[in-house]
Amino acid sequence: MHIKMNRLATRGMNLTQQVAETLGSAIIGQVYGDHNPVPSEAIICEELNVSRSAAREAVKSLAAKGLITSRARQGIRVLPESEWNLFDADVLRWMRDANPSLGLLREFTELRVAIEPEAAYLAAKRQNKTFIAEIASALERMSKAEQGLDDPLESDIAFHLSVLNASENRFFMQLGRIIDTTLRVSIRFTNRRTGVRAGSYNDHKKIFDEIVAGNPLEAAKYASELMQGTLTTILDALDEGIK
């Protein structure tokens, strides 16, 4: 299979990054795998018209992300998904763009169920006024989105990321990239599934009100209810055999 560089997707990248982008997205999109091995570095150079060093560094980059292994006389082999670094920004983006399965969405959402209620708890406990103001701003955007005056997806994401920031836990804050990726896929699915256009302003306001009031347990409870609702929607679809 001839390799093609997506010039639009790789715009602004150096040659190594372009090669890694081309191969990485193809691997996660299941173009390459046991059924169709990744081409050798020599073929990559020839078909993408790049130097051997650019191809080699791209292969090293993908190996570091856990997508492939490359050994002399064995060639380049795609590793199972269990080996992929799901915390890597590129891997997350490629998975999002590849239209991930509901099974993967379930796993993403299970992570949110574990993290976001605790983040809401800490936000209510720590009362960082700057971060709480960010949550308020995001909530206002959600209100406008219900009126068609703001983007429903972006405002919803902004709310959840601002709650993570308000936890003042640097590990939670670092998880924002994963939450962002998860939401960009799961919100579209759950909104389509439930027949609504935007996330519920009222459900999110309950979380915000308890954070502002300094009620950690109540903030966590409402966040948990929201997360569990999303997870239930995904589980119901899986039970119906939707992939």
The domains of the chain are located at 15-83, 102-239
Q: What is the pLDDT of residue 195?
A: 63
Note whether 188 and 198 are within 8 A (CB).
Answer: no
Note whether 68 and 76 are within 8 A (CB).
Answer: yes
Is 102-239 in the same CATH topology as 15-83?
A: no
Q: What is the pLDDT of residue 181?
A: 84
Q: What is the pLDDT of residue 188?
A: 76
Q: What is the pLDDT of residue 56?
A: 96
Q: Which CATH architecture has domain 15-83?
A: Orthogonal Bundle (1.10)
* Segments of the chain assigned E as strands: 68-71, 75-78
In this prediction the pTM is 0.86
Angstrom distance (rounded) from CA 29 to CA 97: 8
Angstrom distance (rounded) from CA 95 to CA 221: 30
| Ramachandran category for residue 51: left, alpha or beta (phi over 0 → left; psi -120 to 50 → alpha) | beta
69: closest CA among 98, 117, 32? 32
Tokens of 235: 């589980």
Q: Which CATH architecture has domain 102-239?
A: Up-down Bundle (1.20)
Note whether 190 and 233 are within 8 A (CB).
Answer: yes
212: closest CA among 227, 222, 197? 222
- The pair phi, psi for residue 129, each rounded to 5°, is -65, -35
Q: What is the pLDDT of residue 21?
A: 96
For the chain (243 residues), the mean pLDDT of every run of 10, in chain order, is: 79 94 95 93 95 96 97 90 92 88 89 96 98 98 94 94 98 91 81 68 97 98 95 90 70
Q: What is the pLDDT of residue 1?
A: 62
Note whether 182 and 108 are within 8 A (CB).
Answer: yes
Note whether 33 and 27 are within 8 A (CB).
Answer: yes
Go through the chain and tell me how many residues it has.
Answer: 243
Q: What is the pLDDT of residue 99?
A: 80
78: closest CA among 66, 91, 87, 92? 66
Report CA 39 to chain centroid distance, whole Å. Answer: 28
- The pair phi, psi for residue 200, each rounded to 5°, is -70, 115
Angstrom distance (rounded) from CA 194 to CA 210: 26
Q: Kindly report the three-state secondary structure assignment for every residue of 29-54.
A: CCCCECCECCCCHHHHHHHHCCCHHH
